[in-house]
Amino acid sequence: MLYPKKFEEKIEFIIIRDFLKSYCLSLLGKELVDSMKFEKDIDLIKKLINQTLEYCIILNEDNFPDLVIHDLRLTIKHLLIENSYLHTSELFELNKTLKSINAILLFLNKKNENNVDYKYPNLHLLSIDKGFDTNLCNIIDRILDENGSIKDNASPNLHKFRNEKLTVAKKISKILNTIILNAQKDGIVENNISPTVRDGRLVIPLSTSNKRKINGFIHDVSDSGKTVFIEPTQVVEANNEITELENEERKEILRILQTVSTEIRPHINDILSCYELLGWIDFIRAKAKFSILTNSVKPFIENYPLLDWKTAFHPILKLHIEKKNSEETHVVPLDVKLSYPNQRILIISGPNAGGKSVCLKTVGLLQYMLQCGMPIPLDENSKCGIFKDIFISIGDEQSIENELSTYSSYLNNMKAMMKYSTEDSLLLIDEFGGGTEPMIGGAMAQAILRQLNNKRVFGVITTHFQNLKQFAQETEGIVNAAMLYDRNEMRPLFQLRIGNPGSSFAIEIARKIGIPKDVIDETTQIVGNDYTSSEKYIQDIIRDKKYWETKRSEIHKKEKRLEETIDRYEQELKKLREDKSNIINKAKNDANDILEKSNAIIERTIKEIKEAEADKKITLEARGKINTFKIDLNNLGNDDYEKKLQRKAEKIKRHQERKANSKRKDKTKADKNPQNTANNSQSDKIIKTGAFVKLIGQQTVGKVLKISGLNNALVAFGAVQMNVKLSNLELASKPNIEKRAFTFISRETQDNIRETTLNFKPEIDVRGMRGDEAVQAIKYFIDDAQIASVRQLRILHGTGSGILRSLIRQYLSTVSAVVSFKDEHPDFGGTGFTIVQLQ
């Protein structure tokens, strides 16, 4: 229930409606603005507000299809009559509107990146069950051009009639031009004369004095009477033919329009439904533009009476002040709280022109806007409830027709509120108890206030009566509030302070205005010092309360800063502990990386040992040492870890030194061996049958059994024979017969080599690997490529920051088997690939 009938006028909502109408593009939207009403269903209210906020996002971030709205609802409904049809212009406007509707439907059905949820779910609800046969647009496009005219090829007959008309018109023009040319030679017409059209017929303009010199019919005379328009007899018959063709053309166009209208007729209900969608979009767009203009938001909404507002503004007042563009004048935000059970009614007191009425109107207007489905201008963390009724009593309601005085009207309002209000009602009463003798008025107001409070209503009431302030102080459910006033500068602050009553400052304001001192003194004597002192005491209490609230706020801020400091130190301590743990974990990871690299070398060594028929016991011992090293790594974090790691490093270093010394001794022995000297002398010679060779970059020595052509050789590596390109081989020393009578390659190794040759792919993907992992993988990759006799390789490392690409190329530059490397062609990956050419 809204009371009184002029409720919207009282709270100035009619101005909001005017704003919204000015933003609408069509009558459809304006009709919805007029039909907007006070809602009580919380789900509906939230949906309406969400639709508006979604359109605000569209206006700021997204490209909504152009709204093309030609309101043809009455015309389309008229089409229900049999044999009725749409005119060309109506069809053209309908076509543009239907295309706009189709684009809007596609937009509202857009989904998010997850392809599950709709991008604008609340606006999408408008499109449900909306749509039409899009083939209607194709039908209209077939007969209308881009300017809305009937196309020549709209039908075969129309094409025929227009071609015939054009042919006859050319014939008439030729005859008329001949007549005009002869008339110009005879001086009958001027040189710049050309045929023109009058009453749909081609004629010649001629001066009145020469009208008898050309045989024909006069069709028109100029306004001045000096020129006549003659149709020569030679073209009369041809003009008649054009007239007949034009009649046939009109009949054919009418037939086409009727045919198209017949095809549209079954879809009238769908089209009208889509017009409803257009109206809603236009209406929501208007609300969104107003919301952006007033910085309105959606607060938290509860399904019970509640007002907990922060920094609320009266939108009309704010726009009015912003329009003035005055730096001195600004709207002071309003903080209001009404909650069940102890703070349901605010009794606001304070000086005249201090903002009491504006405060009351702001509460009424924003609550009404919210329940009409509009965002409102306040802090988005505010909370709002739902009221079933709003009553307002404000302004002068005297009526000569109804013989009502201001006070009588006020009492009627109070009667209605006491009769119809409930605990779900919001009451807004301005100047409570005014309009009559103060003593009676104040007493009556207090009695009414008691009745209303007993009904557990919510309300905002302004007053100057001292007894009402006292009653509010003593009564549960009612709270005093004051519009603040700067007593030193004698100006209102327009700030609402809940908790204490305000003073009217009547004497102080009178003194500031310049009322004579003797009048002010007499006033003080009449009301008594006790009254004026009580006003002063009230202000002193308010001042002291403000001081202590400020102090308390400062203490709270300091406590908060202290808590934040303690929390920050705790976070930093936690981070230090995490950093310590991360450092230990990183050390483990680094050690594991070292181990993995070592494993690769050791595994290759073991492989070579196997191929050389080494003792299995030795192999097992080597693996056992590796496993022991792994177990030691898991003990990272112990106090003696660094010592163990150092001992391991020294042990590995000693092993490498022994291995290097052994290689140097073997080389010295080989240099002293005559057979080796002979083989060394052949290293500079061409590879021939019987020569000892090895794959470039490998250690296993084989023997050339046969040379095939210029590039290939059959080589025996132990029991395995392979076809290898000569470019992948280099001469080697004959194996030491004394040390090894023969080379044994296990069946498993042979199978591995054969599998590598058959299944090798000349491309590797190292994206996502660390640098050392990628280099190790490429090392094995090149080994396999040489075994498979592949000369060109393709490495996929990606672009990224270029670090991985740089590391890989640094390694490739150190490999003797690599002839060259370069970027892939831009069409096939560019700098994301490296092409490697092997010997």
How confident is the model over 277-329, as pLDDT tens digits?
999 999 999 999 999 999 999 999 999 999 999 999 999 988 888 877 655 56
Listed in sequence order, the residues at least 6 apart from 757 whose beta carbon sits closer than 8 Å to its beta carbon are 722, 787, 788, 789
pLDDT: which is higher, 628 or 821: 821
pLDDT at position 345 is 95
Helix %, strand %, coil % for the chain, to 5?
A: 55, 15, 30
For residue 280, how far is the Cα from the chain centroid?
22
Helix (H) or strand (E) holding 794: strand 792-796
Report the alpha-carbon angle 550-360-479, nearest 5. 50
How far is 792 from 12, CA to CA, in rounded Å?
Answer: 83
> What's domain 300-495's superfamily in CATH?
P-loop containing nucleotide triphosphate hydrolases (3.40.50.300)
Query: Mean pLDDT over all residues of the chain?
Result: 81
Closest by CA to 263, choosing from 365, 135, 155, is 135
Cα atoms found within 13 Å of the Cα of residue 517, Cβ hemisphere only: 0
| Confidence label for 739 from pLDDT (cuts 50, 70 and 90) | very low
Phi and psi of 63, rounded to 5°? -100, 100
Evaluate whether 434 touches 410 at the Cβ level (below 8 Å): yes
Answer with the residue of higher pLDDT: 1 or 716. 1
Nearest to 786 by CA among 694, 683, 685: 694
**88-108 and 135-143 helices cross at what angle (nearest 10)?**
150
pLDDT of 386 strictly over 50: yes
Cα separation, 349 vs 502, in Å, equals 5
441-474 per-position pLDDT tens digit = 889 999 999 999 999 999 999 998 888 988 988 8
- Helix, strand or coil for residue 660? helix
Beta-strand relationship, 343-349 and 458-462:
parallel
Helix (H) or strand (E) holding 227: strand 227-232
* Residue 189 CB coordination number (10 Å): 22
Q: What is the mean pLDDT of residues 353-377?
A: 92
What are the residues facing 701 on neighbouring strands? Answer: 694
- Give backbone dihedrals phi and psi of 466, rounded to 5 degrees, phi first: -70, -35
Q: Is 119 helix (H, G, I), strand (E, B) or coil?
A: coil
- Residue ranges of domains in the chain: 39-153+260-294, 300-495, 596-658, 673-744, 760-839
Lowest mean per-residue pLDDT among 119-123, 352-356, 464-468? 352-356
383-384 and 300-301: which strand pairing? Answer: parallel
> Is residue 526 classed as helix, strand or coil in its secondary structure?
helix
Please give the order of strands across the beta sheet that includes 458-462: 2-3, 389-393, 425-429, 458-462, 343-349, 477-486, 491-498
Question: What mean pLDDT comes out for the span 528-540?
Answer: 57
Interval 402-439: pLDDT, tens: 445 677 888 889 999 999 999 999 999 998 887 777 78
Domains 300-495 and 760-839 share a fold: no
Phi, psi of 12 (to 5 degrees): 70, 25
Instruction: Out of 201-205, 594-598, 784-788, give the one with best mean pLDDT.
Output: 201-205
The pLDDT score that the predictor gives to residue 353 is 72
Give pLDDT, residue 340: 87
pLDDT-based confidence at residue 755 (cuts at 50, 70, 90): low
Of the listed ranges 551-565, 613-627, 734-748, 759-773, the least confidently predicted one is 734-748
Banded model confidence at residue 666, pLDDT cuts 50, 70, 90: low
What's the CATH number for 673-744? 2.30.30.30
- The residue that leads in pLDDT, 556 or 20, is 20
| Top-level class of domain 760-839 | alpha beta
Which pLDDT does position 635 carry in this prediction?
55
Residues 102-113 have a mean pLDDT of: 90
